[in-house]
């Protein structure tokens, strides 16, 4: 594994190897065009690989005859596509010169291969030691405009993933204006591919959409200043026959939390181009002489074992090489958040009573949500005034926290640091700190504006208030929320030439704030949130090991939300809670045990008022917390396999998590709709050891704590039989019923 460089007949070749894949890059012609050669199953050598660039298709290559240079440029499989010089497909870059031209052609200058991986200044990025990662940096240049680009590729010894990024450097005397810079470009022959993207809206994030890729361009993007509920910075390219267990799957994911674009294009020659990066719309960046611009990181995965193989590679990459939190390999505390239990109507006594009841049932942390600060009695005021409201918390924050700690519980707190209410002391003092366009009535959402956190004085002021609160008491957890997108994007301090930088500068400012928060409180458990799941992206995982998956806590709605999320993110990153019924978002009634089973597939917690639960439900809470402690290691660390999709069959859902040593497995099954006169379902399991035998047991929440939560069915099956023939799931009485089957090696 690692990176190999070779020269053959004047062509330079680079082979990047992960455990099971190879990625080959070629430098061709005297001009040094950087071409994409191959990405797929691992190959042992590069003998003859240069022919894959199809140089033999071009009798008029620029080296031999420039008569049809445009024909060459328009179909050469490039590593980073040019702009305005004959490649009429989507370009990777667009830079405006002093003279007003925007054409760019980057060609090879030099390269460096080294062990390890550099961080990206101001941006989240994967990481690894010199034993875990090898990096190739290819330096290209457009001498005509004085632009240098460093294309970086890092391969991992333990994961089938490649991390890519690009840095632009102005080597000329005049300034340049960057209008477009993609993080990655991938050219290959179109094999009648299909694509998967993740779409949704508030409370129904990351639903999977699979469709054919036709001629022309297909894209998903965000111009909201955040990732957004609507689209994910991810795209998978698949063969038509690709399933969960077989077929080629290419994934491309952007580690960024702002405006993005993911695009696939099929051209006249049946070539497919896939790329990702910062959304070019309304983006520009001024590069003075000697300055550089660092683009976000793109994360590529190839699997020959279908979507499941792709998912597990992303899961491993994020668990081992992206999440930094001290909690990443630990069980998270079972928490109760008071939001749906009280909304703004709470005081110290009510919160303490909830905590007291929850502690008796096995809950480990109370999280105080919105409404604890300033004049915050509803969502129309006080954002930005991060001072404890002692009318609600009579003894102050420390008094409440100390009482909660005395119950044996930790304490967490909610902030929305990037926002400000028009009715707030902060806005009255600093109206220019809000993002706005002079002379235009700014748009409100949830009756709030967005602070311009690209400005250092704004970041310092907000963090100073947060730090005072967090230092005042024993606070172990912060929920960092963002409840509206950006609009009316304008900064009071950027000049006219740099206004196009604001959206990206905003994201960099937010990243800096979270980095400083974690430096000040290194043991803090940070959970990101944005009106639910509008900021669920790899960039945020670099700062927080878990993200609130969706404001929709309905167990049935969560099946598709959590399936789409788990396609690329580990289960350990998905904030998942049990809430009351009728559900506050959709009004559905589902059994309490079903709500628990679905939430146990994430970080697990509660979103309700424990004092209002029935005695029967309280007994289930005790059992759920016991289940979490007994089985969370498998959920958090194990390999994920999708068995059946409710989003596809509209009847039931099933997935499996297998421990790394293959000795234990949990199979989650939800019967959404019962059917009359139907046989039981037999579903083929995955990921087990074929030569092992497994005892089949079932988890149950029935009865009190004197009864076991694991019941042995007395059945034993061979792993090979379970995977090739299947395991039976009997029909349960009623809709919205669920069970968890536990397999343990004999």
State the Cα angle at 290 between 286 and 293, rounded to 5°. 50
Calculate the dihedral angle through the C-alpha atoms of 257, 259, 262, 267, rounding to the nearest 10 degrees: -160
- Give percent of the chain with pLDDT exceeding 90: 92
Tokens of 62: 């620029």
Dihedral sign of CA atoms 433, 434, 438, 441 in order: negative
Confidence of residue 57 (pLDDT cuts 50, 70, 90): low
How many CA atoms within 13 Å lie on the side-chain side of 418?
Answer: 28
Asked if residues 452 and 458 have their Cβ atoms less than 8 Å apart, the reply is yes
Dihedral (CA of 430, 515, 471, 449) sign? positive
Predicted local distance difference test score (pLDDT) of residue 29: 86
Helix (H/G/I), strand (E/B), else coil: 161: strand
Contact 490, 419 (CB under 8 A): no
Helix H or strand E segment including 403: helix 397-406
Q: Percent of the chain beyond pLDDT 70? A: 98
CATH 1.10.3720.10 fits 579-599+614-746, yes or no: no
Lookup result for tokens 């806005």: 427
What is the mean pLDDT of the segment spanning 681-695? 97
Mean pLDDT computed over 126-144: 97
For residue 489, give the 3-state DSSP assignment: coil
Prior bond of 160 cis (ω within 30°): no
361 — pLDDT class (breaks 50, 70, 90): very high
Closest CA relative to residue 26, chosen from 105, 111, 84, 93: 111
Mean pLDDT of the chain: 96
* Domain spans in the chain, listed from the N-terminal domain onward: 2-321, 335-548, 579-599+614-746
180 close to 147: Cβ distance less than 8 angstroms: no
Q: Are the C-beta atoms of 611 and 585 separated by less than 8 Å?
A: no
Does 27 have pLDDT greater than 80? yes
Q: What pTM value is reported for the model? A: 0.97
Q: How many CA atoms lie within 13 A of 74 on its CB side?
A: 11
pLDDT interval class at 678 (50, 70, 90):
confident
Q: What mean pLDDT do residues 586-595 have?
A: 96
What class has domain 335-548? alpha beta
pLDDT band at 51 (very low <50, low <70, confident <90, very high): confident
Rounded Cα–Cα distance for residues 513 and 516 (Å): 5
Which of 87, 370, 551, 554 does the annotation list as catalytic? 551
Measure CA of the first residue to CA of the last residue in the chain; give whole Å: 36
Does residue 554 carry a catalytic annotation? no
Q: What is the mean pLDDT of residues 172-182?
A: 97
Residues 490 and 499 sit within 8 Å (Cβ to Cβ): yes
pLDDT of amino acid 54: 65
Is the CB of residue 635 less than 8 Å from the CB of residue 628? no
577-to-128, 504, 572, 598, 633 alpha-carbon distances in Å? 32, 33, 13, 9, 18
Query: pLDDT band at 52, cuts 50/70/90?
Result: confident
Instruction: Give CA torsion, residues 420, 423, 427, 432, to 10 deg.
Output: 90
Question: What is the Cβ-side half-sphere exposure of residue 668, based on CA atoms within 13 angstroms?
Answer: 29
Work out the average pLDDT over 157-182: 97
Concerning whether 551 is annotated as a catalytic residue, the answer is yes
Q: How many CB atoms lie within 10 A of CB 678?
A: 9
pLDDT in tens, 560-570: 999 999 999 99
Q: For the CA atoms of the chain, what is the radius of gyration?
A: 27
Q: Of 496, 388, 385, 485, whose CA–CA distance to 437 is shortest?
A: 496
Is residue 637 scored above 70 in pLDDT? Answer: yes
pLDDT of residue 22: 97
Lowest mean pLDDT among 18-27, 68-77, 203-212, 548-557: 68-77
pLDDT of residue 67: 80
The predicted structure's pLDDT at residue 56: 57
2-321 — its CATH code? 2.70.98.60
What is the C-alpha separation between 481 and 82, in angstroms, rounded?
A: 39
Asked whether residue 9 carries a pLDDT value surpassing 80, the answer given is no
Averaged pLDDT, 662-674: 97
In tens, the pLDDT along 520-546 reads 999 999 999 999 999 999 999 999 999
By residue count, the chain amounts to 746
The active-site residue out of 160, 231, 370, 481 is 481
Spatial contact of 24 and 49, defined as CB atoms under 8 Å apart: yes
């Amino acid at each position: 594994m690692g990176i190999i460089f070779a020269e053959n007949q004047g062509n330079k070749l680079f082979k990047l190897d992960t455990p099971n894949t190879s990625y080959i890059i070629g430098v061709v012609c005297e001009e040094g065009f950087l071409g994409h050669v191959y990405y797929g199953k691992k190959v042992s050598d590069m003998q003859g690989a240069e022919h894959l660039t199809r140089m033999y298709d071009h009798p008029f290559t620029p080296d031999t005859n420039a008569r049809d240079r445009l024909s060459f440029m328009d179909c050469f499989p490039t590593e980073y596509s040019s702009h305005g010089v004959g490649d009429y497909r989507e370009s990777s870059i667009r830079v405006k010169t002093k003279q007003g031209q925007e054409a760019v052609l980057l060609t090879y200058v030099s390269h460096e291969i080294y062990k390890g991986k550099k961080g990206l200044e101001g941006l989240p990025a994967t990481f690894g030691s010199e034993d875990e990662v090898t990096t190739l940096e290819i330096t290209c240049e457009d001498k005509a405009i004085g632009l240098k680009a460093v294309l970086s590729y890092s391969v991992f010894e333990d994961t089938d993933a490649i991390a890519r990024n690009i840095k632009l450097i102005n080597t000329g005397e005049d300034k340049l204006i960057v209008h477009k810079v993609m993080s990655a470009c991938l050219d290959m022959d179109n094999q009648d591919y299909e694509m998967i993207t993740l779409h949704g809206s508030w409370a129904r994030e990351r639903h999977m959409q699979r469709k054919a890729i036709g001629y022309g361009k297909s894209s998903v993007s965000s111009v909201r200043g955040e990732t957004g509920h609507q689209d994910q910075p991810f795209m998978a390219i698949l063969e038509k026959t690709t399933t969960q267990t077989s077929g080629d799957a290419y994934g491309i994911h952007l580690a960024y939390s702002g405006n993005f674009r993911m695009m696939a294009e099929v051209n006249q020659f049946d070539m497919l181009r896939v790329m990702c990066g910062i959304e070019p719309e309304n983006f520009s960046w001024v590069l003075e002489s000697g300055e550089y611009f660092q683009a976000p990181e793109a994360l590529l995965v190839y699997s020959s074992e279908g979507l499941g193989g792709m998912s597990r590679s992303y899961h491993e990459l994020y668990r081992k090489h992206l999440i930094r939190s001290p909690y990443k390999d630990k069980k998270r505390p079972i928490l109760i958040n008071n939001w749906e239990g009280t909304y703004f109507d709470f005081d110290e006594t009510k919160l303490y009573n909830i905590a007291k009841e929850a502690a008796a049932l096995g809950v480990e942390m109370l999280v105080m949500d919105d409404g604890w600060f300033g004049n915050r009695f509803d969502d129309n005021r006080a954002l930005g005034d991060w001072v404890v409201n002692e009318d609600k918390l009579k003894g102050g924050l420390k008094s409440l926290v100390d009482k909660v700690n005395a119950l044996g519980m930790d304490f967490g707190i909610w902030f929305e640091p990037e926002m400000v209410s028009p009715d707030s002391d902060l806005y009255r003092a600093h109206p220019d700190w809000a993002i706005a366009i002079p002379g235009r009535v700014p748009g409100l959402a949830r009756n709030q504006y967005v602070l311009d956190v690209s400005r250092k004085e704004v970041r310092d002021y907000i963090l100073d208030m947060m730090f005072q609160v967090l230092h005042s008491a024993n606070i172990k957890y912060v929920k960092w929320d963002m409840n509206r997108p950006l609009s009316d994007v304008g900064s009071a301090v950027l000049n006219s030439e740099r206004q196009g930088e604001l959206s990206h500068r905003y994201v960099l400012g937010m990243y800096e704030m979270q980095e400083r928060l974690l430096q000040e409180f290194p043991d803090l458990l940070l959970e990101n949130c944005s009106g639910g799941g509008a900021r669920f992206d790899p960039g945020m995982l670099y700062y927080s090991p878990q993200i609130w998956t969706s404001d929709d806590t309905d167990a049935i709605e969560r099946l598709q939300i959590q399936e789409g999320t788990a396609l690329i993110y580990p289960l350990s990153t998905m904030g998942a809670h049990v809430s009351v019924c009728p559900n506050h978002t959709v009004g559905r009634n589902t059994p309490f045990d079903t709500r628990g089973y679905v939430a146990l597939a994430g970080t697990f917690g509660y979103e309700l008022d424990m004092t209002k639960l029935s005695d029967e439900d309280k007994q289930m809470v005790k059992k759920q917390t016991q289940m979490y402690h007994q089985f969370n290691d498998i959920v958090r660390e194990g390999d994920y396999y999708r068995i059946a999709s409710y989003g596809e069959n509209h009847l039931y859902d099933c997935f499996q998590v297998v421990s790394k040593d293959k000795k234990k497995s949990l199979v989650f099954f939800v019967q959404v709709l019962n059917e009359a006169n139907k046989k039981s379902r037999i579903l083929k399991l995955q990921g087990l050891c074929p030569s092992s035998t497994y005892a089949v047991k079932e988890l149950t929440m029935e009865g009190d704590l004197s009864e076991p939560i694991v019941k042995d069915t007395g059945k034993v099956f061979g792993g090979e039989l379970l995977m090739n023939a299947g395991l039976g799931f009997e029909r349960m009485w009623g809709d919205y019923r669920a069970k968890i089957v536990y397999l343990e090696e004999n």
